[in-house]
Amino acid sequence: MQVWDVFKGIRFRQLKKLMLFLFKHPFFFISTIKATFDVLRISQREFPNTHGFNNKANAFRHALWNIFIAKQCSLFSRKSYEVILWTKEFTDWHEDFSPNEALPRIMDLHNNCIGRELFLKTPKSTQNQWVILLKEQLEYAVQIVSVEDVENYPRQLVYLEN
């Protein structure tokens, strides 16, 4: 997909919200961009060409993305609630921007939340430590088949397909 195709697909309301993010916290916004590129690079290294599907690699990518956003933003704020709120707001916006069907959307939001919780539990960890931690958690990830299934696994990564 070309960059221009992405911009053509942005609705005015989405663009307005993106600009509000930029003006609300410019340092958080830049930190989020850096975190996004870092996560894509690591996800491609760890799960070549498979992290874009609704599988365990995707669960890993979403959780890691939230951890990395929170970590990068924490360089500019000592208030963990502010960092977590930003991370949640931005990643929720992303789910609205690139809408999925209900089950993949719930899966992504759930794995995002797992990432934020892991950051709060281990804020001093390094990128490599988080990668190892999440890969270990993938061993306990649960395949779900319905939206209701997510509620049964509040502390585990979830995925849809192998």
Q: What is the pLDDT of residue 38?
A: 97
3-class SS of residue 159: strand
Give CA–CA dist 11/48, Å, rounded.
31
Residues in Cβ contact with 141 at an 8 Å cutoff, skipping those fewer than 6 apart? 56, 59, 156, 157, 158, 159
Q: Is the pLDDT reported for residue 2 higher than 50? A: no
Average pLDDT in the 52-61 region? 95
Q: What is the pLDDT of residue 103?
A: 94
3-class SS of residue 21: helix
pLDDT band at 24 (very low <50, low <70, confident <90, very high): confident
Residues in Cβ contact with 38 at an 8 Å cutoff, skipping those fewer than 6 apart? 68, 127
Q: Which amino acid appears at position 162 of this protein?
A: N
Q: Is the pLDDT reported for residue 20 higher than 60? A: yes
pLDDT band at 162 (very low <50, low <70, confident <90, very high): confident
Contact 25, 70 (CB under 8 A): no
Question: What is the pTM (predicted TM-score) of this model?
Answer: 0.89
* Segment 101-128, tens digit of pLDDT: 999 999 999 999 999 999 999 999 999 9
Q: What percent of the chain has pLDDT over 90?
A: 77
Average pLDDT in the 72-99 region? 93
Q: What is the DSSP letter of 98?
A: S
Q: Quick one: tokens of 24?
A: 């609300």
